[in-house]
Structure formats: C-alpha cells, structure tokens
Amino acid sequence: MHAQAHEPSTYLVGIFTEEDQIMTVTQAATDAGLPVYDTYTPYAVHGLDHAQKLPRSKVTFVAFFGGMCGFLTAALLQSYTQGITTPFLSGWPLNIGGKPYLPWTAFVPVFFELTVLFAGLSTAVGMFAINGLFPGKKAKLLIDGVTNDRFAIAIDPKGKNYDEAKVRGLFAAHGAAEVAFIGESA
C-alpha cells in the first residue's frame, strides 16, 4: 500500500456496470502485474478477493483473542466472587444449600456468554480498526455510484509496472463505462 498521510493520492479509475466485468478486468490487471490499488463494489462480489489477490482477513485472530479474554474474565470473575480468597482481595464465599463453592458446571453458562460477548465485540471493533473506519470518518476516494450500481477498479500511478496506455487499453477491452483520474478527498 502507498498510503500518503498528508498528500492525497490520485488513482486511474475504470468504472464498470456489471459484476462480471469487474471480475475479469481485475483478474486481467493482477495477471498483467499492474499495480491494482483496490476495487469498489456496491456489494461483496464473491471471488473478487481472489482475483485481487487479497490476503486472508486477520479479523479471525482478533475474534479468537477476544473470545479467550472473555473466557478468562468469566473464569476469574466467578472463581473470585464465589469462593476464592486471596491475600489482596477477598470475596465473601456464600454457602448456598451446601453446594460446592466452585462448581464449574454451574459456571458454564457465564463462561459461554462472556466468551461470545468478548469475541463478538472484538470482531466488530477489530473489523472497523483493520479497515480504518470509525464513526464520523469522511469517505476517502469515494467514486460516484459505487454504493449504488457501479463497480470500479483503481490503479495506482505511483506503483510498480504502471503503464497508463496499457491500463486504458485493458479498461476499454473490458467495456469500461468511464475512465478517469480520481483523487482521494483530503
């Protein structure tokens, strides 16, 4: 990625109207070794990740880590509050009907709920963080119509093997509706 923090970058963008066109043009562009910056679609187009050679999403690791934290929290919270006394913190072990102080089977529902809660919240936060999205963010490089009915591919002119004529030829060959240089909004 060639993310410029201060100077907004400009990309050569081809805009298409069909899902099939964005698939084939992206596949052709990556096959030709052109510097594909990203593609933009109104819905998740299946197979486009592969055509674009995107790595596997890291959100799964975040979710797993969050889930583990949730499980640990539930384990510590329940064992501390229900029976364990430590030199620093002491709870108030309650004798309820002569039942054991640390009945792990009775703790299972809360183990499960907190694992799911932490995993779910970290999945959501992790996804937005990895994508660099946050409440109130202004959309960068917003191509007209990609949230409605257009499919776009952006080629990075500062990238390796960039060749404007070749890119324009490729876009035309796949039936681009429009080709233009589009800059990120500051």
Where along the sequence are the contacts to another protein (CB under 8 A)? Answer: 19, 38-49, 52, 54, 57-60, 63, 77-78, 81-82, 91-92, 94, 96, 99, 103, 106-107, 109-110, 112-114, 116-117, 119-121, 123-124, 126-128, 130-131, 133-143, 146-149, 152
Whichever of 56 and 165 has its CB closer to another protein, that residue is 56
The least CB distance from residue 134 to another protein, in Å, is 6
Give the nearer residue to another protein in terms of CB position, either 94 or 172: 94
Contact by Cβ (8 Å): 91, 80: yes
Q: Closest CB to another protein among 33 and 147?
A: 147
Nearer to another protein, 12 or 39 (CB): 39
Q: E-assigned strands of the chain? A: 10-16, 36-40, 151-155, 178-183
- In whole angstroms, what is the distance from residue 112 CA to residue 20 CA? 43
Closest by alpha carbon to 84, among 71, 67, 101?
101
On the 0-12 / 13-18 / 19+ scale of CB atoms within 10 A, 175 is middle
